[in-house]
Chain A
Amino acid sequence: MNMNTSARARTAPTRPNLTAYAFLAPVAILVVLFFIIPALLVIYISMTDLATANFTSDVGQMTFIGLKNYETLFSDPYARKIFFNTVFYVLVTLSLFNVGGALVVALLTAHINRRAGFFFRALWLLPRLMTSTVYILMWERMVADPPYGILNQLFGVAGYGTVAFNTNHIWTFVILVNGIIGISFGMIIFTSAIESISKDIMNASLVDGSTAMQRIRYVILPLMRWPLLFVLSYQTLSLLTSYEEILLFTNGGPGVYQTEVWALTAFHRALSNYFGNAQWGYGSAFAVVLVIVGIVLAILYLRIFRFRELVSEPKIENL
Chain B
Amino acid sequence: MVKVFRLLLVVGLMLSGIATAAQEEVTITARCQANIAGGEGWRCDNFAAVEEQVEQELGINLTLNIIQDSKGWADYKTEFVLAAEAGEAPDIILSGHEDIGAWAAAGLIIPLDDLIAQHEEFADVVPNLWVSQTYDGKIWGIPQDAEARPIFYSKLLLSDLGWSDEEIASLPERVRTGEFTFEDMLATAEQAVAEGVVEPGKGYYHRWGNGFDWLPYYLGNGGEIMTEDGQLVFDRDAALAAYELIGSFVKRGVTPETMIGTESSAIYAEFAPAENVLFYQGGTWQWADWARNYVADLGGNDFLLENVGLMLFPAMNDGVPLSLTHPLSYMISSGSEHPDVAMALLAAVTTPEANNRHAIDSFHLGILTTQVESEAYAANPVLSGAHYMLDYTRFAPNTPFYSAWSNAYWAGIQAAHTGTPAEEAVELAVTQLQNELGDQIVIR
Contacts and interface: CB of A to CB of B under 8 A. Distances in A.
A78 B406 CA distance: 15
B414 A255 contact: yes
- Is chain A's binding surface mostly helix, strand, loop or mixed? loop
Interface string A115-151: 0000000000000000000000000000011111000
A172 interface: no
Contacts of B432: 76-78
B277 to A, nearest CB: 13
B263 A53 contact: no
Contact of B98 (A57, A253, A276, A282): A276
Interface stretch (B19-27, B151-159, B336-344, B395-403): B395-403
B380 interface: no
Nearest to A52: B102
A275 B98 contact: yes
Contacts of A76: 432, 435-436
Interface string A274-299: 11111100100000000000000000
A274 B411 CA distance: 14
A87 interface: no
Contacts of A72: 435-436
A210 interface: no
Contact of B263 (A78, A145, A274): A145
Nearest to B263: A145
A272 B428 CA distance: 23
Given A72-B435, A77-B435, A254-B261, A274 B210 contact: yes
Contacts of A271: 78
- Is chain B's binding surface mostly helix, strand, loop or mixed? helix
B1 interface: no
Contacts of A254: 209, 260-261
A146 B400 contact: no
Interface stretch (A37-45, A161-169, A218-226, A230-238): A161-169
A276 B258 contact: no
B418 interface: yes
Contacts of A279: 404
Contacts of A275: 96, 98, 396, 402-403, 406-407
Interface string B65-101: 0000000011101100100011000000001101101
B102 A51 contact: yes
A283 B396 CA distance: 24
Nearest to A146: B266
Interface string B412-423: 001100100000
A192 interface: no
A276 B85 contact: no
Interface string B160-198: 000000000000000000000000000000000000000
A203 interface: no
A56 B106 CA distance: 9
B410 to A, nearest CB: 9
- Which of B74, B428, B436 lies at the interface centre, i.e. has the most chain A CB atoms within 10 A of its CB? B74
A141 B86 CA distance: 39
B265 interface: yes
Contacts of A255: 260-261, 414, 418
Contacts of B400: 51-53, 277
B443 interface: no
A72 B428 CA distance: 15
A318 interface: no
Contacts of B411: 78, 256-257
Contacts of A257: 411
B105 interface: yes
A275 B98 CA distance: 7
A63 interface: no
A208 to B, nearest CB: 57
Interface string B429-444: 0011001100000000
B105 A54 contact: yes
B266 A253 contact: no
Given A77-B428, A275-B403, A253 B418 contact: no
B370 interface: no
A316 to B, nearest CB: 58
Interface in A162-195: 164, 166-168, 170
A254 to B, nearest CB: 3
Contacts of B209: 253-254
Nearest to A166: B261
B105 A53 contact: yes
A16 B103 CA distance: 57
A4 interface: no
A277 B108 CA distance: 12
B108 to A, nearest CB: 8
B269 interface: yes
A138 to B, nearest CB: 15
A105 to B, nearest CB: 33
Contacts of A77: 428, 431-432, 435
Nearest to B259: A167
A270 to B, nearest CB: 9
A278 B266 contact: no
B16 interface: no
B262 interface: yes
Contact of A272 (B74, B101, B108, B257): B74
A167 B260 CA distance: 8
Given A77-B428, A166-B262, A276-B99, A52 B106 contact: yes
- Which of B77, B257, B261 lies at the interface centre, i.e. has the most chain A CB atoms within 10 A of its CB? B261
> 8 closest pairs, A vs B, by CB?
A254-B261, A53-B400, A275-B403, A145-B266, A272-B74, A277-B102, A256-B414, A167-B258
Given A52-B103, A277-B401, 13 more contacts: A53-B102, A76-B432, A78-B411, A145-B263, A147-B269, A164-B262, A170-B261, A255-B418, A256-B411, A274-B211, A275-B402, A277-B99, A277-B404
24 contacts: A52-B106, A52-B400, A55-B106, A57-B86, A76-B436, A78-B411, A144-B263, A146-B266, A164-B261, A166-B261, A167-B260, A253-B260, A255-B414, A256-B411, A256-B414, A274-B403, A276-B96, A276-B98, A277-B99, A277-B101, A277-B102, A278-B77, A278-B403, A279-B404
Interface of A: 51-57, 72, 75-78, 144-148, 164, 166-168, 170, 253-257, 271-279, 282
